[in-house]
Amino acid sequence: MSSYIARLPKAELHVHHVGSASARIVGELAERHPGVVPSDPDELKAFFAFRDFAHFIDVYLAVVDLVRTPEDVRLLTYEVAREMAGTQRIRYAELTCTPYTSVLPHDPDKGMAIEEYTEAIEDARVAAERDFGLVLRWIYDIPGESGLPAADATLDYALNHRVDALVGFGLGGPEIGVDRAQFRPHFDAARTAGLRSVPHAGETTGPETVWDSLRHLGAERIGHGTSSSEDPELLTYLAEHGIALEVCPSSNVATRAVASLEQHPLGAFVDAGVTVTINSDDPPMFGTTLNQEYAVAADLLGLDEAGLAHLARAAVRASFAPDDVKERLLGEIDEVDPEG
C-alpha cells in the first residue's frame, strides 16, 4: 500500500506556504535571520512540539517572521515545490499564502513591497513547473486574528496586484473570537473578481462557524470543517451542494482539534456522502507528509488501492485547476498499476 501511495499522482488543496517549510528550509532561513527559531534540526523538532492550537499559532508566526525578503520567499517557494514533487508525487498544489504577514507596511522593519512578494512567488512557481513538473496555484488568506486591516490589505493584494496563478481567497488563523460575518464584503469583492471562496472553519469551533462561512462568505470548499460531524443537517447540506472538506487528520490531532486519529470524523463525513480531500496542512510542523496522510485515510476508511485512487481523483475534481490540468492528472492516476 505504501508503495502504491508513493506512486500515486496527487493534488493537494490545503497546504500552507510557510507551513510547508521543512526543517532543512527553516534551518536555512533561521541561519539568515538568527533569533527565536533554532537552526539545529534536533532543536527544531522540539520547537515544533505543540501543546495546543494557541501554541501552534505562536510557533507558526515565529517561522513566518523568518520570511523577510524576496530572496527568502523565492527560497521557500522553490524548495517547498522540490520536496512536494519528489517523494510525495504531488502534481498540483494550491498553496495558501498570507502576504499580509510579510508585506509592507504591516512590518516596516522586516517587510517587503507587495510587488516584490508577488514577483518572488511567481518566479519560483514558473521555475518549479519547469524543473519539477509541479503546477502551483495560490490562495491568499486573511489572518483572521489581525481583523479588518488585514482583510482590507489582503483584498488589495488580490485585486490590485493580482497574478494569473491566484485562484482563491481564504481566511485562516484562530477561529475563536473571530466573527466570519465581518469579512463578508471582502469575500463578496473577491468572488466578484472571479476568486474562489475557501475559508478555514470548524477546526477549533463548532459547526456554526462552518454555517457562517457558507452563509456569509459563500464558501465553495471548507478548510478542515472538523466539527461538521456534530451537525447532521450541515453534513446533508455539504453533501447535497458538493462542498468539499479539506481534511487534514494529523494536523487536527497535533493541534488538539481532535483527541486522536481513532476519533477523527473522516469516516462520518464519507458515510454522509460529503466530498473529502486529504491534505497535510503544515506537514513538517506536524511531522507528516501527504503520503502519510493518505496512509492514515486508508487505515481510517479501510481503503484498498482503488479507494485511494478515488480519494486522489476527488482532490483533482475539487481543485481550481484548469480543465486541461485536471484531465491530465486524472489520466495519470488511472495509469498507476496497483501491482507496481
Active site residues: 203
Amino acid at 86: G
44: left (phi over 0), alpha (psi -120 to 50) or beta: alpha
The b-or-e profile of 222-248 (16+ CB within 10 A means b, else e) is bbbbbbbbebeebbebbeeeebbbbbb
Question: How many Cα atoms within 13 Å fall on the side-chain side of residue 127?
Answer: 15
Question: How many Cα atoms within 13 Å fall on the side-chain side of residue 228?
Answer: 35
Amino acid at 297: A
C-alpha cell at 288: 507528516
The b-or-e profile of 151-166 (16+ CB within 10 A means b, else e) is bebbbebbbebeeebb
Q: Edge-to-edge, what's the strand order for the sheet holding 10-16?
A: 10-16, 90-97, 135-143, 166-172, 196-197
How do strand 221-224 and strand 200-201 relate by DSSP bridges? parallel
Q: Are 30 and 37 in contact (CB under 8 A)?
A: yes
Judged by DSSP in three states, 40 sits in coil
